Amino acid sequence: MLLSVLDQSPIPEGSTGADALRNTLDLARACDALGYHRYWVAEHHGGPMLASASPEALIGPIAAATQRLRVGSGGVMLPHYSPLKVAETFTILAALYPGRIDLGLGRAAGTDPLTTYALQRDRRQPAPDDFPQQLAELLGYLEDALPDEHPFRRLAATLPGRPELPRTWLLGSSPQSAIWAGQLGLPYAFADFINPGGAEIAALYRERFDPAAGRGLSAPRTAVAAWILCAPTDEEAAHLAASSRMTLTLLRRGQLIPVPPPEKAIEFLRAEGRPTSGPLPGRRGIVGSPETVRAGVERLAADYQADEVIAVTITHDHAARRRSYELLAEAFGLEPSSARLAAATSP
């Protein structure tokens, strides 16, 4: 089983988006040294909690700062973009960092309706819900497989990064995304941190997987992204996780805030009569000591029959987030690079 990272570039209370982006580069260097397999950056818009609005802008600097990690988007929210522009951008990245770039594609807006509208280039009417057509066009560019009669047929051969290409993944948290990924023969990454009931959806993907789709996979490939927080003890991990409990509670009320310190979060939760530890309401959280987290991650991978687990970790303190990934790597015996680890831990 491979271990990877999804970084949403959280913005701690009292900090700035610029600080969060610098933390992302620092964490990527550390995870490269620790032996993680891939490092994906998310796409979220219009909120004070996450600075990851442009994965395509972050992937290049992360790839430049690391050596062996695969780097990619988790994901590009395709409804906001022209398929041709996405294809051009990611072939450029693939040309600069051959064999290391992933293009993870999502359908969600990654924001609220007003911000979605603000992201539209043409605001005369709502954007159409044509994700399957967008996806087919994008794959046609990358694979130089648009039909001869397609008006954009010649553009496929002009992608600037050819012959290098990214590895395309489909992301999702619903049955429809699993069906599309299976029918298209794409690797599939399921967002368990959004929908913790996805084991049956992953099974649907495997059932619908078509190896004849011609995308280089002879069998389905499943990754599952989960909310994971590791600390030296269960008690310390629960303390750190209080920050996310508070942000999740307020998110459900439509209130977006920077990541609060755990002490403030615990005070808030107690005033609300909410638990400060234990299961997260409506979410799966793998939170605890290295032993606790390893057992939880192994159960998760078994539930999904996943080849890979992608850890999403949010804390107020960047050092605690970095330490979580260090402990997770140690718990699974990842092979660190001593030279890169020394560079990543130097001032």
Residues paired with 315 in a beta bridge: none
pLDDT band at residue 342, thresholds of 50, 70 and 90? low
Q: Over 50: is that where the pLDDT of 347 sits?
A: no
* Span 115-131, average pLDDT: 87
* Span 66-72, average pLDDT: 97
Cis peptide before 46 (omega within 30 of 0): no
Domain hosting residue 94, numbered range:
2-345
Backbone torsion region of residue 188, taken as left when φ is above 0, otherwise alpha when ψ lies between -120 and 50, otherwise beta: beta
What gap in Å lies between CA 24 and CA 95, rounded to an integer? 23
Name the more confident of 168 and 284: 168
Which pLDDT value is given to residue 122? Answer: 86
156: tokens are: 């496929």
Which pLDDT value is given to residue 282? Answer: 76
Q: Over 50: is that where the pLDDT of 92 sits?
A: yes
Which pLDDT value is given to residue 199? Answer: 96
Average pLDDT, the chain: 94
Which pLDDT value is given to residue 10? Answer: 98
pLDDT band at residue 139, thresholds of 50, 70 and 90? very high
pLDDT tens digits, one per residue of 217-237:
999 999 999 999 999 999 999
Q: Over 90: is that where the pLDDT of 214 sits?
A: no
* Helix ranges, the chain (H): 17-34, 55-65, 83-96, 113-119, 131-143, 175-184, 199-208, 234-251, 262-271, 290-304, 318-331, 338-345
For 41-45, 211-215, 262-266, 317-321, which range has the lowest pLDDT when averaged over its residues?
Answer: 211-215
Determine the 3-state secondary structure of 318 from DSSP.
helix
pLDDT band at residue 339, thresholds of 50, 70 and 90? low
Q: Over 70: is that where the pLDDT of 338 sits?
A: no
112: tokens are: 């609220």
What do you get for the CA distance between the two ends of the chain, in Å? 32
pLDDT tens digits, one per residue of 34-58:
999 999 999 999 999 999 999 999 9
Q: Over 90: is that where the pLDDT of 177 sits?
A: yes
Domain count, the chain: 1
Percent of the chain having pLDDT more than 90?
85
Percent of the chain having pLDDT more than 70?
97
| CATH code for the domain in which residue 93 is found | 3.20.20.30
For 43-52, 211-220, 312-321, which range has the lowest pLDDT when averaged over its residues?
Answer: 211-220
pLDDT tens digits, one per residue of 272-308:
999 998 887 778 899 999 999 999 999 999 999 999 9
* Span 163-181, average pLDDT: 97
Which pLDDT value is given to residue 333? Answer: 96
Q: Over 70: is that where the pLDDT of 346 sits?
A: no
